[in-house]
Amino acid sequence: MRARTLVLAACVLLLAAAPLVAGALGQMYYVELLRRVMIFGIAAASLNLILGYGGLVSFGHAAYLGVGGYAVGILAFYGVNNGWLQWAVAILASALVALAIGAISVRTRGIYFIMITLAFTQMLYYLGISVEEYGGDDGLRIKVKSQFSGLIDLNDPVAYYYLVFALLLGVLYLVHRLVNSRFGLLLRAAKSNEARSRAIGFSPYPYQLAAFVISGALCGLAGALYANHTSFITPEYMHWTRSGEIMFMVILGGMGTAAGPALGAFALLIVEDLLAGWTQHWQVILGPLLVLCVLFFKRGLAGLLPGGGKDG
């Protein structure tokens, strides 16, 4: 446990120092790359809450990335650049969409749950394509990034980097607290043995639905961050392959571990970036690599850390 804490602390310090190093080396590209990694780390952490701890295999998590992103983009389109408002709307809208999707899907199990979450996300994807007003298929450029009353300038890549960094740590800590609370233990217990849970007297549904909504809201925040990261929104945010990517980060990093999703996002996106710089057929290499990872690291990358794959 000691060694594990040290390793994770070292990761945090490296991330904290990265912009300084990149700046000194004149490699600002890596600041952008790591910022993207951390945004997806937030998305993956949000999915981990319901997938890793709740056993709800949501195959539509990109929906909330899209809803969060479009909330920022559409408000900016109408000249509303207040970041507080934009991000609040992004989180609330994602929570509402998650409530609607969850109210229906959480009643189902297994393949039905996967299919319903996928279907809803595809609906949102095609909605994004069909609404010409906001660019349809071509997407929508965000001319002015979210404004935070002059507190922080998102156009400054390093300042924005540290904001995302702080939010990632905040979300990881939040999920950690959640899954160890009474709420979290019931959520995990329902995953572990639903019949037993019902027999001791609790109905999993309201708790699973609440987790689904919290998860959607957190992913909506990631969507708002990503919209500001790329200054561009497109229906591609919500494509099912994106949902698959986020799910893969969770599985690769280690389902149901506190740090796993961030590790998974880091590993997947960095390897993707390295391979893409090397050959345009990088997917041919990435695919088998991922299969090998799943086969050999059963508890994900977090399972390779000292202390194994189980932490709270």
Min dist CB 193 to another protein, Å, is 5
Shorter beta-carbon distance to another protein: residue 2 or 182: 182
Quick one: 126 or 202, whose CB is closer to another protein?
Answer: 202
Smallest gap, in angstroms, from Cβ of residue 55 to another protein?
Answer: 11
Task: From 66, 219, 65, 230, select the one nearest 146 (Cα to Cα).
Answer: 230
Q: Please state, as a whole number, how many other Cβ atoms lie within 10 Å of the Cβ of residue 49.
A: 27
Give contact residues for another protein (rule: CB under 8 A).
177-178, 180-186, 188-189, 192-193, 195-203, 207, 210
Residue appearing with tokens 């709800």: 56
The residue (of 131 and 189) whose beta carbon lies closer to another protein is 189
CB of 118 to another protein, least distance (A): 28
Question: Closest distance between another protein and the C-beta of residue 202, in Å?
Answer: 5
Structure tokens at 170: 């905040």
* Closer residue to another protein in complex, CB, 121/197: 197
Q: What does the angle CA 63 – CA 76 – CA 152 come to, to the nearest 5 degrees? A: 95
Residue closer to another protein by CB (options 63, 221) is 221
C-beta of 158: minimal distance to another protein in Å? Answer: 32
The candidate with the shortest Cα–Cα distance to 40, out of 295, 239, 218, is 218
The structure tokens 């390793």 sit at 7
135: left (phi over 0), alpha (psi -120 to 50) or beta: left
